[in-house]
């Protein structure tokens, strides 16, 4: 068992291979001496030698060369910005024990740094909440609403009510995960506020899967609203005529697929490729924190939170054609219970418990 | 709840450091017919490879029937049970339909073959498809449509949840396509999913619930609902569209009515007494509604198969096909089938000019002057490239320019647009227009008329052993087809 563990490192394999080559060389030497003494050339030792050399070649190819190429590819992907958020597989072949320790360490640091970023944003919400004093804000907004109703300005009253509801959800509710229903309600509220600005120029359609339970699935808080905001500001606002934003939700065997579409101006292929590349490469986002501000944080923030909470295999992808429209598709696991979520934040907690986390 | 059959999540796939798929994202639900519109062909073979064989990925995840079957982080991989049906048959020749469907499928473990029982088991499937094929028929005796049907049947029997159909309209005719669509809908209702790849959006609109637009190895948009209408993609092919609209009817008045080619009573194994004429400077599209006739006609025109009876006349003189430089044939995928790799670009270009300039191979000055003249059209760089290093478009240009140098009276182009992406199709159209400008008659032999029709002066449809119908340009709107620019043929504008 110990040998098996040791042999998953290519450095140990090379050492073992060198020993095997040395043994084969010794055998060849012994055979040569034997043949010189006997002065005959029997074919059996030669056959054994050929088999031994072939076995060595096969050993080198399958046991050293191919794992080495795979390991090299993995490092090149890492350098290219694709980060292993998941813990390293214990059975994975690596270059040496030090490479393994290095990867393990980097992986832990990455996960903790992501958590720090998430916590930073969480802290920002809390700071905002403390500064604003939500009760004072809601009471003031309610006061404005009452005055507006008395003055017969129903629109102002409705708008104020929508704003209060929006702030209540955004600031007061600090949970990481909310139900689809809560998130959709927030989108409707946000859209109502925007409609006071744009009027009939914008429309919102919500299409839900026939699964009755879909409203109870959990999604990260503030997943939909920032993307809906993007679709209105960058998609439909610049379009001539009425722009339609659509939130489409589907449940598959194990996933929740959320698509926020607009029929706006779309984007060119280069911009689309650049955005999808950045969404795929979490490492690039970490390396270029300043770039985040330039590109707009909404998409990357939501994507990073999904990666952290649910794992690397979930996330966001953008489809777009210029003058046809843009779709942002989000994939997350379909779950109604928070304790079923095994990745992301739970990793961070586990790391702290191990005492191996830096931060 | 929708059941997901396939999910490709941000797949990046490389071969020898060349990226073929970049952040490729696609999902297909159970019982769904999804269209795939490759705007350019880049990455399509890699996509099919990833789909079926699960090679190591640079990045991303592939799920089949909601199970992770391939991941960038390394895992045990095996092939997916996905069938791909295209131009090349994947049936085992020399074996019967029954053997291909039942006996040769993976997982068939019976030691003793009870043929009668298997035939009984096959019959309901054949009835389901309204297909009258004997189970004992050898697969090489099947028509193209029957072959496609047998491949679908084999996929269904083998338990493939996803069937990929590649440019099927280039191998089966319009009435058969309608039958194929009915059968696809029938199996889709029973839970089988289809991915229907075609370079023509109009074709996808006929059958697909959604359509994924692929360009440069990436899905840029998935169209559904209200977006499934022809106008949606006007931006993508606007250049091609404008060119076609601009030139749609300009060839019609150039027809001098002088007969340059005449096929009289051509008879072979399947063709019986075929007659048609081609006029100087016209573009004639011959749509073959029977696949066997199609292949036999090509073999006769290329001189690979002798005619049992009949005469071919070029400018009134009887000729042996392709023994005469007055007539030329551009084969299907000419870049692969008509170039000689060991020879240089210039030698390939001059290959058929010997009748016009007899001393071409002796006098290098002639070849140099040809290079000088044609480098203005083809560019100078290509002359120094090896044939293998040329792009697909450059290979096609070389073949067409070779024929241009030859200056025949008539060129037969066999399925010229088959398997080509938009840029390639546009260039081929330009090259064919160039022939017409120089008074060379162009005859396009095709099954799918989507691109060819826009260049045509006349269309003749051949079925069984005779010319079934002939359409003049003014009658194109009567063609029972859904092809691009169909509405323009009504108005003649």
Q: Are A186 and A175 in contact (CB under 8 A)?
A: no
Cβ of B10 within 8 Å of Cβ of A317? The answer is: yes
Tokens of A147: 């005055």
Q: How far is CA B359 from the centre of its chain?
A: 38
> For residue A257, which residues of chain B lie inside 8 Å, CB to CB?
27
Count Cβ atoms below 10 Å from residue A152 Cβ, excluding itself.
8
Cβ of B221 within 8 Å of Cβ of A280? The answer is: no
Tokens of B240: 């091609």
Cβ of B58 within 8 Å of Cβ of A77? The answer is: yes
The yes-or-no verdict on residue A357 having pLDDT over 50 is no
Same domain, B220 and B245: no
Same domain, B125 and B251: no
Q: What is the DSSP letter of B99?
A: I
pTM of this prediction exceeds 0.90: no
Using CA atoms in the order B305, B311, B313, B317, what is the torsion angle rounded to 10 degrees?
A: 110
Rounded CA gap, B408 and A55, in Å? 62
- We report the CATH number of the domain holding residue B399 as 3.40.50.300
**Chain A with chain B: Cβ pairs closer than 8 A:** 91
Per residue in A127-170, pLDDT tens?
555 666 667 777 788 888 888 888 888 888 888 888 888 888 87
> For residue A70, which residues of chain B lie inside 8 Å, CB to CB?
56, 74
Per residue in B31-77, pLDDT tens?
999 999 988 878 999 999 999 999 989 899 999 999 999 988 777 77
**Alpha-carbon gap: B234 to the closest alpha carbon of chain A (Å):** 10
Q: What is the chain A residue with the closest CA to B215?
A: A269
Rounded CA gap, B113 and B95, in Å? 14
Q: Are A208 and A169 in contact (CB under 8 A)?
A: no
Same domain, B190 and B262: no
Q: Are A318 and A274 in contact (CB under 8 A)?
A: no
Least CB-CB distance to A86: which of B73, B213, B222?
B73
Same domain, B427 and B459: yes
Q: Which residues pair with B33 in a beta bridge?
A: B194
The yes-or-no verdict on residue A352 having pLDDT over 60 is no
Res. A283 pLDDT band, cuts 50 70 90: low
Q: Count Cα atoms within 13 angstroms, Cβ side, for B52.
A: 13
Rounded CA gap, B446 and B466, in Å? 16
Contacts 24+ apart (CB under 8 A), B331-335: B331/B298, B331/B302, B331/B414, B332/B414, B332/B415, B332/B416, B332/B418, B333/B418, B333/B419, B334/B395, B334/B396, B334/B399, B334/B400, B335/B390, B335/B392, B335/B395, B335/B396, B335/B399
Selected for mutation to probe chain B from A254, A255, A274 (highest B CB count within 10 Å) is A255
- Percent of chain B past pLDDT 70, that is, above it, reads 91
Rounded CA gap, A306 and A221, in Å? 10
Same domain, B290 and B216: no
Same domain, B172 and B270: no
CB of A272 within 8 Å of a chain B CB? The answer is yes
Selected for mutation to probe chain B from A77, A103, A320 (highest B CB count within 10 Å) is A77
Burial class (CB in 10 A: 0-12, 13-18, 19+), B302: middle
> For residue B56, which residues of chain A lie inside 8 Å, CB to CB?
70, 73
Per residue in A76-85, pLDDT tens?
888 777 766 5
Same domain, B448 and B314: yes
Same domain, B401 and B432: yes
Rounded CA gap, A49 and B247, in Å? 74
> For residue B220, which residues of chain A lie inside 8 Å, CB to CB?
269, 272, 319-321
What's the confidence (pLDDT) of residue B213?
A: 93
Same domain, B291 and B365: yes
Cβ of A70 within 8 Å of Cβ of B236? The answer is: no
Tokens of A4: 């098996």
User: Which span out of A21-35, A209-223, B40-54, B257-271 was modeled with the highest average pLDDT?
Assistant: B40-54
Q: If you search the block for the tokens 């035939």, which residue do you land on?
A: B119
> For residue A210, which residues of chain B lie inside 8 Å, CB to CB?
1
Return the sign of the alpha-carbon dihedral for residues B178, B183, B188, B193.
negative
Per residue in B71-105, pLDDT tens?
887 777 788 899 999 888 889 988 899 889 888 87
Task: Tell me the pLDDT of chain A averaged across its residues.
Answer: 78
Tokens of A46: 């030669």
What's the confidence (pLDDT) of residue A227?
A: 92
**Parent domain of B205:** 4-236
> For residue A327, which residues of chain B lie inside 8 Å, CB to CB?
221-222
CB of A251 within 8 Å of a chain B CB? The answer is yes
Secondary structure element (H or E) that encloses residue B294, with its range: helix B291-301
Same domain, B108 and B141: yes
> For residue A329, which residues of chain B lie inside 8 Å, CB to CB?
25
Same domain, B486 and B417: yes
Q: Which of B236, B258, B285 is the last residue of a domain?
A: B236
Report the topology of domain A177-183+191-354: Heat Shock Protein 90 (3.30.565)
Q: What is the DSSP letter of A89?
A: P
Q: Which of B184, B213, B236 is the last residue of a domain?
A: B236
Give the residue from A180, A327, A82 showing the smallest Cα distance to B26.
Answer: A327
Rounded CA gap, A41 and A72, in Å? 45
Rounded CA gap, B327 and B435, in Å? 13
Cβ of A273 within 8 Å of Cβ of B233? The answer is: no
Count Cβ atoms below 10 Å from residue B359 Cβ, excluding itself.
9
Least CB-CB distance to A319: which of B29, B74, B220?
B220
Q: In the predicted model, what is the mean pLDDT of residues B351-376?
A: 84
Cβ of A280 within 8 Å of Cβ of B9? The answer is: no
Same domain, B166 and B93: yes
Checking DSSP bridges between strand B193-197 and strand B33-38, what pairing results, if any?
A: parallel
Total domains in the fold of chain B? 2
Per residue in A314-335, pLDDT tens?
999 999 988 889 999 999 999 8
Least CB-CB distance to A313: which of B9, B66, B216?
B9
Checking DSSP bridges between strand B82-85 and strand B259-267, what pairing results, if any?
A: unpaired
Rounded CA gap, A77 and A85, in Å? 13
Cβ of A253 within 8 Å of Cβ of B3? The answer is: yes
Q: Which of B236, B252, B279 is the last residue of a domain?
A: B236
Burial class (CB in 10 A: 0-12, 13-18, 19+), A212: exposed
Give the residue from B51, B58, B50, B57 showing the smallest Cα distance to B28.
Answer: B51
């Amino acid at each position: 068992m110990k040998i098996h563990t040791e042999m998953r490192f290519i450095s140990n394999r090379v050492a073992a291979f060198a020993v095997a080559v040395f043994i084969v060389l010794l055998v060849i030497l012994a055979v040569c001496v034997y043949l010189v003494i006997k002065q005959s050339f029997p074919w059996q030792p030669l056959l054994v030698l050929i088999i031994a050399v072939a076995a060595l070649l096969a050993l080198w190819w399958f046991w050293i060369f191919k794992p080495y190429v795979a390991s090299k590819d993995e490092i090149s992907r890492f350098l290219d910005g694709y980060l292993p958020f998941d813990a390293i597989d214990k059975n994975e072949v690596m270059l040496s024990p030090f490479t393994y320790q290095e990867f393990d360490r980097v992986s832990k640091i990455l996960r903790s740094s992501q958590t720090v970023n998430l916590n930073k944003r969480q802290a920002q919400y809390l700071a905002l909440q403390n500064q604003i004093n939500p009760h004072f804000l809601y009471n003031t907004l309610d006061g404005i609403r009452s005055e507006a109703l008395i003055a017969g300005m129903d629109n102002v009253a409705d708008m104020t009510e929508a704003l209060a509801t929006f702030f209540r959800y955004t600031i007061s509710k600090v949970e990481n995960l909310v139900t689809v229903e809560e998130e959709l309600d927030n989108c409707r509220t946000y859209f109502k506020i925007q409609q006071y600005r744009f009027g009939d120029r914008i429309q919102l359609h919500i299409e839900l899967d026939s699964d009755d339970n879909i409203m109870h699935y959990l999604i990260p808080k503030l997943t939909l609203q920032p993307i809906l905001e993007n679709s209105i500001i960058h998609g439909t606002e610049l379009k001539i005529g009425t722009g339609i934003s659509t939130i489409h939700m589907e449940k598959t065997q194990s996933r929740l697929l959320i698509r926020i579409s607009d029929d706006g101006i779309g984007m060119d292929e280069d911009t689309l490729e650049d955005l999808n590349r950045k969404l795929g490469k979490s490492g690039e986002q970490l390396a270029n924190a300043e770039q985040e501000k330039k590109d707009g944080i909404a998409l990357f923030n939501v994507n990073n939170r999904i990666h952290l909470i649910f794992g690397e295999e979930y996330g966001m992808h953008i489809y777009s054609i210029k003058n046809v429209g843009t779709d942002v598709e989000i994939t997350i696991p379909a779950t109604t219970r928070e304790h079923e979520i095994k990745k992301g934040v739970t990793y961070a907690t586990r790391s702290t418990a191990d005492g191996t986390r830096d931060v | 709840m929708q059941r997901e059959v396939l999910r490709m999540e941000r797949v990046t796939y490389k071969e020898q450091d060349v990226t073929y798929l970049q952040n490729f994202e696609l999902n297909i639900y159970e019982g769904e017919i999804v269209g795939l519109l490759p705007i350019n062909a880049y990455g399509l073979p890699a996509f099919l490879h990833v789909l079926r064989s699960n090679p190591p990925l640079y990045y991303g995840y592939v799920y089949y029937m909601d199970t992770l079957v391939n991941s960038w982080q390394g895992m045990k991989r095996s092939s997916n049970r996905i069938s791909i049906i295209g131009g090349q048959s994947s049936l085992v020749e020399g074996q019967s339909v029954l053997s291909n469907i039942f006996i040769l499928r993976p997982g068939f473990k019976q030691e003793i073959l009870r043929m009668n029982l298997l035939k009984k088991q096959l019959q309901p499937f054949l009835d389901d498809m309204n297909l009258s094929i004997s189970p004992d028929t050898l697969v090489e005796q099947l028509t193209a449509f029957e072959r496609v049907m047998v491949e679908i049947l084999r996929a269904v029997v083998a338990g493939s949840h996803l069937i990929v159909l590649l440019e099927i309209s280039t191998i089966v005719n319009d009435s058969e396509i309608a039958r194929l669509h009915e059968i696809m809908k029938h199996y889709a209702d029973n839970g089988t999913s289809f991915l229907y790849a075609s370079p023509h959006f109009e074709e996808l609109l006929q059958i697909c619930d959604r359509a994924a637009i692929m360009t440069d190895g990436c899905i840029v948009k998935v169209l559904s609902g209200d977006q499934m209408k022809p106008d949606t993609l006007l931006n993508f092919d606007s250049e091609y569209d404008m060119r076609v609209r601009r030139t749609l009817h300009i060839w019609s008045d150039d027809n001098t009515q002088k007969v340059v080619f005449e096929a009289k009573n051509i008879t072979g194994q399947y063709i019986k007494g075929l007659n048609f004429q081609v006029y100087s400077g016209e573009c004639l599209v011959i749509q073959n509604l029977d696949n066997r006739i199609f292949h036999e006609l090509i073999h006769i025109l290329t001189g690979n198969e002798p005619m049992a009876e009949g005469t071919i006349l070029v400018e009134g003189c009887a000729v042996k096909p392709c023994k005469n430089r007055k007539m030329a044939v551009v084969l299907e995928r000419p870049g692969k089938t008509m170039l000689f790799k060991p020879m240089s670009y210039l030698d390939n270009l001059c290959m058929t000019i010997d009748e016009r300039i007899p001393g071409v191979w002796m006098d290098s000055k002639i070849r140099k002057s040809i290079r000088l003249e044609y480098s203005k059209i083809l560019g100078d760089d290509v002359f120094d490239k090896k044939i293998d290093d040329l792009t697909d478009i450059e290979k096609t240009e070389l073949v067409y320019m070779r024929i241009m140098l030859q200056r025949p009276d008539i060129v037969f182009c066999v399925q010229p647009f088959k398997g080509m992406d938009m840029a390639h199709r546009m260039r081929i159209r330009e090259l064919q227009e160039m022939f017409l400008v120089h008074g060379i008659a162009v005859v396009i032999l095709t099954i799918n008329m989507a691109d060819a029709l826009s260049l045509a002066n006349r269309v003749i449809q051949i079925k069984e052993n005779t010319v079934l119908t002939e359409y003049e340009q003014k009658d194109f709107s009567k063609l029972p087809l859904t092809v691009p620019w169909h509405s323009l043929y009504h108005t003649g504008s």
